[in-house]
């Protein structure tokens, strides 16, 4: 491994526009230094296939170095006042927002989402930094009556310690800040392992953190093309006290098992199988707009994307017709171009999954309403697709498609819809559209989900606790609950009073 000087510009970013190359040093960031490696891996633009940068491909030893740096930084970081940490976080927030346009372009280049969505993600991601800078000033303990006349009980909330954050490619910025902001604000240093498809946004965030003066070792980014070796270190090293993972359910389960050896705390934001229920009293036009937002955002590649549309018989045909009419107007193309609503999928495997779900459904009797094929643009572009007459026997009923496929299931009664919605091992987000208030309460209470959106197609915000039940995960991100994930309670018994 070779070490290059901070702020050295690497030739590895030549395909990036000049303004972005200044923001991205394609090395890892450990202990306040940019750390190169002989081995590099290519980060490509999914819209064009062009290589954007060759990034340092680190090994397990480098991950241990990052953990050691974070551990060494912990005592001084936790001793700062909440306000001192908040001031740094606020400066980071300001830097992120000052670079909103650059970060958005970078994200569209490496991830593919339309520029408007990337701008939105920068603002959404930054909002966690702003929120937790404030909220961590209000971390409070308690004093309780003692269990004897000479005793008192004190309860402290202390930072948990070194946090490892492993993040996915679908939200290259927000999934990092949603973990790091509460951890840092609470007094915990972090080691970030970004997704191999989208490390450039993570590196840009680290560069901005360096620019605003975060102390060495407090925020580290370990880039690697083979995540298992890094994950092994982060889940087994006793100096790491908490792992926060967002990604697929199989990887989450593996990491949770690996955490058992050191009884490490874990927050897991995993896969979903979101139902979107349209009842016969719904405002159908509003439901169609909500459906577009919840299904086709990020080309269907979000964990809270609708996976199953459950439509009541009385409005089934009308909803299908309105949805298809709207879907066929969605602009597909390079996210940097104007008017694009749906970019490419992240890679060929993602296209295969969408195709296999469509083929399976068609074989078992589904009806194609629109789309259904790879897009004429080629590459990993796919037509926004709607299929009808979908049933529980089809793969899409059970598996997350993670692509632009809207399958329409049919139901007769309210309780049938609730049962269908809950018939999955997942429990992340659920959506429904209805007007009758008794029905709304009944359905809201019947859904076994961590998040429920009523007459609304988008629910993510830093102000609310985001997370799932069942196999969709453990813990919450956002709101004051997201801060609790990075603190431990210490009970002190004072006797002899």
**Binding region for ligand NAD (CB under 6 A) out of 140-148, 225-233, 282-290, 439-447:** 225-233
Write the DSSP string, 159-213: E--EEEEE--SSSTTHHHHHHHHHHHHHT--EEEE--TT-HHHHHHHHHHHHHTT
The CA angle 173-174-179, to the nearest 5 degrees, is 110
Helix (H) / strand (E) element for 291: namely: helix 284-296
The answer to the question of residue 217 lying near ligand NAD (CB under 6 A) is no
**Binding region for ligand NAD (CB under 6 A) out of 42-50, 107-115, 269-277, 351-359:** 269-277
Q: Of these, 15, 60, 192, 195, which contacts ligand NAD (CB under 6 A)?
A: 195
Nearer to ligand NAD, 196 or 281 (CB): 196
Active site residue 269: yes
Nearer to ligand NAD, 204 or 388 (CB): 204
3-class DSSP assignment, residue 99: coil
Contacts of 387 (CB under 8 A, 6+ apart): 358, 361, 362, 366, 367, 368, 369, 372, 405, 406, 407, 408
445: left (phi over 0), alpha (psi -120 to 50) or beta: alpha
Distance separating alpha carbons of residues 240 and 259, to the nearest angstrom? 10
Nearer to ligand NAD, 269 or 280 (CB): 269
Query: Of 269, 400, 477, 485, which one is the catalytic site residue?
Result: 269
Say how many residues touch ligand NAD, by CB under 6 A: 28
The answer to the question of residue 170 lying near ligand NAD (CB under 6 A) is yes
Report in angstroms how near the CB of residue 10 gets to ligand NAD at its nearest: 22
Contacts of 122 (CB under 8 A, 6+ apart): 96, 97, 99, 100, 103, 104, 107, 173
3-class DSSP assignment, residue 243: strand
Number of neighbouring beta carbons within 10 Å of residue 376: 8
Q: Are 247 and 125 in contact (CB under 8 A)?
A: no
Nearer to ligand NAD, 238 or 495 (CB): 238
Contacts of 333 (CB under 8 A, 6+ apart): 47, 340, 342, 343, 377, 381
Q: Are 147 and 97 in contact (CB under 8 A)?
A: no
Largest CA distance in the chain: 79
Distance separating alpha carbons of residues 159 and 426, to the nearest angstrom? 31
Q: Of these, 12, 26, 161, 168, which contacts ligand NAD (CB under 6 A)?
A: 168
Applying the rule CB under 6 A, the residues between 398 and 437 that interact with ligand NAD are 400, 402, 428
Q: Of these, 4, 236, 248, 374, which contacts ligand NAD (CB under 6 A)?
A: 248
The answer to the question of residue 342 lying near ligand NAD (CB under 6 A) is no
Nearer to ligand NAD, 193 or 375 (CB): 193
> Nearest to residue 141, comparing CAs of 485, 484, 496?
484
The answer to the question of residue 251 lying near ligand NAD (CB under 6 A) is yes
Distances 422 to 13, 226, 361, 426 between C-alpha atoms, Å: 47, 35, 20, 8
Q: How many Å from the N-terminal Cα to the C-terminal Cα in the chain?
A: 58
The answer to the question of residue 247 lying near ligand NAD (CB under 6 A) is yes
Report in angstroms how near the CB of residue 139 gets to ligand NAD at its nearest: 24
**Binding region for ligand NAD (CB under 6 A) out of 82-90, 144-152, 249-257, 433-441:** 249-257
Contact code string over 127-146 relative to ligand NAD, x by CB under 6 A:
--------------------
**Binding region for ligand NAD (CB under 6 A) out of 96-104, 153-161, 167-175, 199-207:** 167-175
The tokens for 287 are: 């439901």
Report in angstroms how near the CB of residue 252 gets to ligand NAD at its nearest: 7
Report in angstroms how near the CB of residue 276 gets to ligand NAD at its nearest: 16
Report in angstroms how near the CB of residue 234 gets to ligand NAD at its nearest: 7
Report in angstroms how near the CB of residue 302 gets to ligand NAD at its nearest: 6
The tokens for 51 are: 């290589």
The answer to the question of residue 478 lying near ligand NAD (CB under 6 A) is no
The answer to the question of residue 473 lying near ligand NAD (CB under 6 A) is yes
Q: Of these, 271, 333, 343, 478, which contacts ligand NAD (CB under 6 A)?
A: 271
Edge to edge, the sheet with strand 265-269 lists 33-35, 28-30, 219-221, 190-193, 162-166, 240-246, 265-269, 473-474
The answer to the question of residue 275 lying near ligand NAD (CB under 6 A) is no
Nearer to ligand NAD, 65 or 400 (CB): 400
The answer to the question of residue 270 lying near ligand NAD (CB under 6 A) is yes
Q: Which residues bind ligand NAD (CB under 6 A)?
A: 166-171, 193, 195-196, 227-228, 231, 246-248, 251, 254-255, 269-272, 303, 400, 402, 428, 468, 473
Residues designated as active site: 269
């Amino acid at each position: 491994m070779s070490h290059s000087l901070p702020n050295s510009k690497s030739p590895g970013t030549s395909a990036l526009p000049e303004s972005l190359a200044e923001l991205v040093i394609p090395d890892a960031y450990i202990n306040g230094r940019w750390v190169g490696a002989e081995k590099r891996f290519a980060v490509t633009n999914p819209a064009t296939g062009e290589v954007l940068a060759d990034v340092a491909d680190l090994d397990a030893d480098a991950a241990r170095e990052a953990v050691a740096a974070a551990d060494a930084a912990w005592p001084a970081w936790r001793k700062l006042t909440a306000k001192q940490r908040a001031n740094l976080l606020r400066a980071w927030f300001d830097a992120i927002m000052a670079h909103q346009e650059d970060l958005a372009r970078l994200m569209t280049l490496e991830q593919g989402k339309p520029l408007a969505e990337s701008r939105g993600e920068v603002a959404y991601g930054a909002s966690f930094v702003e929120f937790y800078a404030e909220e961590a000033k209000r971390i409070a303990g308690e004093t309780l009556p003692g269990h004897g006349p000479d005793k008192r009980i004190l309860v402290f909330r202390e930072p948990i310690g070194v946090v490892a954050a492993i993040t996915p490619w679908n939200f290259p910025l927000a999934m990092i800040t949603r973990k790091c902001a509460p951890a840092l604000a609470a007094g915990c240093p972090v080691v970030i392992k970004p997704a191999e498809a989208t490390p450039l946004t993570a590196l840009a965030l680290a560069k901005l953190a360096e620019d605003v003066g975060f102390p060495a070792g407090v925020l580290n980014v370990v880039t690697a093309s083979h995540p298992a070796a890094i994950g092994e270190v982060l889940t087994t090293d006793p100096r790491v006290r908490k792992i926060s993972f967002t990604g697929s359910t199989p990887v989450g389960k593996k990491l949770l098992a690996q955490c058992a050896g050191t009884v490490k705390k874990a927050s897991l934001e995993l896969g979903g199988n979101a139902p979107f229920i349209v009842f016969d009293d719904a405002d159908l036009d509003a439901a169609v707009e909500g459906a577009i937002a919840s299904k086709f955002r990020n080309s269907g590649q979000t964990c809270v994307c609708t996976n199953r549309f459950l439509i009541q018989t009385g409005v089934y045909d009308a909803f299908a017709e309105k949805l298809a009419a709207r879907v066929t107007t969605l602009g597909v193309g390079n996210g940097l171009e104007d008017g694009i609503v749906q970019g490419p999928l992240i890679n060929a495997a993602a296209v295969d999954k969408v195709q296999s779900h469509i083929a399976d459904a068609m074989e078992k009797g589904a009806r194609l309403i629109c789309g259904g094929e790879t897009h004429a643009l080629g590459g990993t572009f796919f037509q926004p697709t709607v299929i009808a007459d979908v049933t529980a026997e089809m793969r899409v009923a059970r598996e997350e498609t993670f692509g632009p496929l809207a399958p329409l299931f049919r139901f007769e009664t309210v309780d049938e819809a609730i049962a269908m919605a809950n018939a999955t091992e997942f429990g992340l987000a659920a959506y429904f559209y209805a007007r009758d208030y008794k029905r709304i309460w009944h359905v809201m209470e019947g859904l076994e989900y961590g998040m429920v959106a009523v007459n609304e197609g988008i629910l993510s915000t830093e102000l609310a606790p985001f997370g799932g039940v069942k196999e969709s995960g453990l813990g919450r991100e956002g709101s004051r609950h997201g801060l609790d994930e990075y603190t431990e309670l210490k009970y002190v018994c004072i006797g002899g009073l």
